[in-house]
Chain A
Amino acid sequence: MSFTLRGRIETRLAAAVLPFLVACVVAFLLRDWWPVELVGVMVGVGLVLDAFVYWRFLRYQPGWAAVPLGLLELGLTMALVRLFDIAAPLGPALWFFVGSWLVMQILGHAVLPYVRLTYAEDGGELGTSGQGLALAAATAVLAVLGTAAATQPPTYVLESGLHQGPIVLDNPQTLRGEPGAVVRGGIVITSDGVTVRDLVVVGGRNGIEVHDSTNVRLENVTISEAKMDGVHARRSSLKIKGCSVRMTGDYTQAIDISFAFDLPMSSVERCTVVGGQEGIVSHMAHVDFRRNHVRETTLRAITVSEMSMGKVSRNVVEDAVGVGVYCGDYSHCDIRHNTVRDTRANLKSSDRYTHGHAILSHFYAQATVSSNVLEGNANDMRAAPDSLIRYR
């Protein structure tokens, strides 16, 4: 079919109506914005390609071209989802895209030619219905943006200087620190939809505690001098990005995410962790630890344990005592593209599993490893007799 520019845009908008409505319903049921954000990105990618690429370079579009063009749009959509950090789970997002693509094909090849006699020869234009559709689309975009703006949680700003904690955040909000803002005594989060950004936290039993909360974000926070854990999350789902945690006590953990097996996956990304008994830890949780730098821990640098499911990728672990990356206690771990160097044995311990292994699978755990760089470790990789290491 040979589309006109207007025909492409009107057909695209017509095809977006059903996915948009479905996304609104799903968003309402999940109490989450990602379905609407996803459909917005999807339609946006399509419209940009329609206006600047397809219309110029595809004067005639055979039916089969829908497949490679669909793959192109899928790739761009998922790249933007990643870029904008839209919290769309990969599987549902892919299914949603495929479903929307199918709707578009059925609409373009069957429904619209059926209901509108001149659809094909008008280059996909929908006449007065198309104008109505464009108006409806603009209205929908404004309505969504308006609703999004109206329902955004409030933002509070901590001025430069020392603020005495613990600060308790028990409703959705964004807490942002100006340069030089320091909280002494920790932060406690007990509500969904909380974002903490650009803050220095000093001291406290735990630096930041998160309890029974989802959709929590910790961005660009610096934590030090906590007595127990730097970040201590229980029954919660959170994303930590760009943090710096320095631990000094013997039995401390820098980041501990635990008891959240039934909750959406948590992630720790681009954090620097120094010291403590354990660096980044999960117990009974879905986790994704990537691109972190962990060093100078005294038991394990990265731990995925107690029936956790975890992806550990592109991390750098250095100068750890005991174990570099540990997968233990019935956990399933995907360990790829990490660099683990200079892991030393704990000479004071009688535990044979603290003998400086770069990667260790222990107590019925299953680790899948690939493309890891292991250098200067006392021992490279080991699976306990009851555990597995698979090489991919």
Chain B
Amino acid sequence: MERSCAIVGGGLAGFVAYVTLRHGGLEPGEIAVFGTDPDPVAAWRPRAEAIRQRRMRSESDGHCYPRSFPGLAPREALRTRSAAPLVQTVCNRYRPSVQEFLRHVEELREQSGWDQSFQPHRVARVSAADGGFEVDDRGCFRHVLLAPGHPGLSLPSELASDPRTVHAYEPHGYADRVAVVGAGMAAATEWLNALAAGAEVVSVRRREPARRPLNVPRPLFSKAGLASFHAAGRAQKVELLVGFGEPSYPPGREWDEPVEWARREGRFSVSASVNGEAQVICATGFRRGFENDELLRCLVEEHELDIEQRWIVLAPDGTVAALTDSTRTLSLAGVPAQWAYPAADTLVGMKYVARRFLRKVDACRSR
């Protein structure tokens, strides 16, 4: 059977796209997935373990199933025979455990036939060809979805060579006195981890973190808010996207109380710079922008794609307009798709792109 679709990237965004295509009726033989590890959470899992993450920030809809319903809350309610997850999800208080999420990914991986489509190969180049796209030397595909993931961990240049420095997403323990650089979700998690391990914590940050349940305001997850985002001018879009990328973590006593207790005991303080701590944990996220990703940088240069600062300009459905027509599709998923969907690096965002990619594939197949 001819493989008409290629997914470049075997992480969660690629996995979500794969499951959506399978739901849309494509057989495993029609889809090629290129990645370095057949486990879709191979990149995500060690990061979550490194920051001792126990609960997902996302809510019931933060899953990889192609349909929104049933999400994780009703499934957990059914499995545990408890109404608690349903009540929590109605009040936007449901946070699935990491364990629950990993179990669900594993289950879906087996059901979907992911391993039949997976090809272990790191793709270096994707270029437009007649009726599709050449993916390295692996052939020409009519529809390609690029889900390269984050382009590596970000470390402040002044700390990169410091032997005390470790990134929050790398395995680490805690010294007696720890500086945590950053003010987002990972940083807040690290404050609590280090305090729980008995360490004294110095939060190094340049600004006060925003307190938001999610990175992006809820209306921007659906058409109601997206319409105005898509209609915005380029400068305004950039301003919005920069704002959404500012560090934040959810409000709630579970975050505030341990920090407040530690502050009273003199074990938590805030500083503008690192100052002699035994360990420096950089909760500074990922490098940003397509130019930090070799595959995307080459794609932009080779095809002279439209860009705006660090973003590739995309159509509202996540496709690269210059390389997409009625016969072929090139879509971006995950964090590089923020121009189309501000929360593209969330599971909901990955599904947004995947569903539109499926529409393109379907429209082409039906002719």
Binding site for B on A (CB under 8 A): 1-4, 7, 59-60, 62-64, 109-110, 113-114, 117-123, 125
- A interface majority secondary structure: loop
Q: Which of B192-200, B216-224, B301-309 contacts A (4 or more CB under 8 A)?
A: B216-224
Interface bin, chain B: 20 to 34
What residues of A have a CB within 8 angstroms of the CB of B90 in the complex? 62-64
Closest chain B CB from A66 CB (angstroms): 8
B69 touching A123, Cβ below 8 Å: no
What residues of A have a CB within 8 angstroms of the CB of B70 in the complex? 110, 114
Between A and B, 8 residue pairs with Cβ closer than 8 Å are A2-B222, A62-B91, A109-B69, A113-B69, A121-B221, A121-B226, A123-B223, A125-B223
Known: A60-B218, A62-B92, A63-B91. A4 touches B69 (CB 8 A): no
Q: Does B348 contact A (CB under 8 A)?
A: yes
Binding site for A on B (CB under 8 A): 20, 23, 61, 66-70, 74, 89-92, 217-219, 221-227, 348, 351-352, 355, 358
Closest chain A CB from B252 CB (angstroms): 16
Known: A63-B90, A63-B91. A122 touches B69 (CB 8 A): no
Closest chain B CB from A318 CB (angstroms): 55
A7 is contacted by which of B66, B91, B224, B352 (Cβ under 8 Å)? Answer: B224
What residues of A have a CB within 8 angstroms of the CB of B221 in the complex? 2, 120-121
What residues of A have a CB within 8 angstroms of the CB of B69 in the complex? 109-110, 113-114
Counting chain A CB atoms within 10 Å of each CB, which of B218, B222, B348 scores highest?
A: B222
A2 is contacted by which of B74, B91, B219, B355 (Cβ under 8 Å)? Answer: B219
Closest chain A CB from B20 CB (angstroms): 8
Leading 3 A-B pairs by shortest Cβ distance? A113-B69, A63-B90, A113-B68
B92 touching A121, Cβ below 8 Å: no
A59 touching B92, Cβ below 8 Å: no
In the docked arrangement, what's the CA distance between A117 and B357, Å? 13
A122 touching B68, Cβ below 8 Å: no
In the docked arrangement, what's the CA distance between A113 and B66, Å? 10
B66 touching A59, Cβ below 8 Å: no
What residues of A have a CB within 8 angstroms of the CB of B222 in the complex? 1-4, 120-123
Closest chain B CB from A110 CB (angstroms): 5
Closest chain B CB from A54 CB (angstroms): 11
What residues of A have a CB within 8 angstroms of the CB of B348 in the complex? 121
Closest chain A CB from B233 CB (angstroms): 21
What residues of A have a CB within 8 angstroms of the CB of B61 in the complex? 120
In the docked arrangement, what's the CA distance between A60 and B74, Å? 21
Known: A109-B69, A110-B70. A121 touches B91 (CB 8 A): no
A122 is contacted by which of B23, B74, B219, B223 (Cβ under 8 Å)? Answer: B223
In the docked arrangement, what's the CA distance between A63 and B89, Å? 8
B67 touching A4, Cβ below 8 Å: no
In the docked arrangement, what's the CA distance between A4 and B69, Å? 20
In the docked arrangement, what's the CA distance between A121 and B225, Å? 10
A4 touching B355, Cβ below 8 Å: no
What residues of B have a CB within 8 angstroms of the CB of A122 in the complex? 222-223
In the docked arrangement, what's the CA distance between A122 and B227, Å? 10
Known: A63-B92, A64-B91, A121-B352. A113 touches B67 (CB 8 A): yes
What residues of B have a CB within 8 angstroms of the CB of A2 in the complex? 218-219, 221-225
Closest chain A CB from B195 CB (angstroms): 32
Closest chain A CB from B255 CB (angstroms): 20
B67 is contacted by which of A1, A114, A123 (Cβ under 8 Å)? Answer: A114
B219 touching A120, Cβ below 8 Å: no
With A114-B68, A121-B221 already in contact, 6 other A-B pairs whose C-beta atoms are closer than 8 Å: A2-B218, A59-B225, A64-B91, A113-B69, A117-B68, A123-B224
Closest chain B CB from A43 CB (angstroms): 22
What residues of B have a CB within 8 angstroms of the CB of A110 in the complex? 69-70, 74
In the docked arrangement, what's the CA distance between A4 and B224, Å? 5
A118 touching B67, Cβ below 8 Å: no
In the docked arrangement, what's the CA distance between A1 and B224, Å? 10
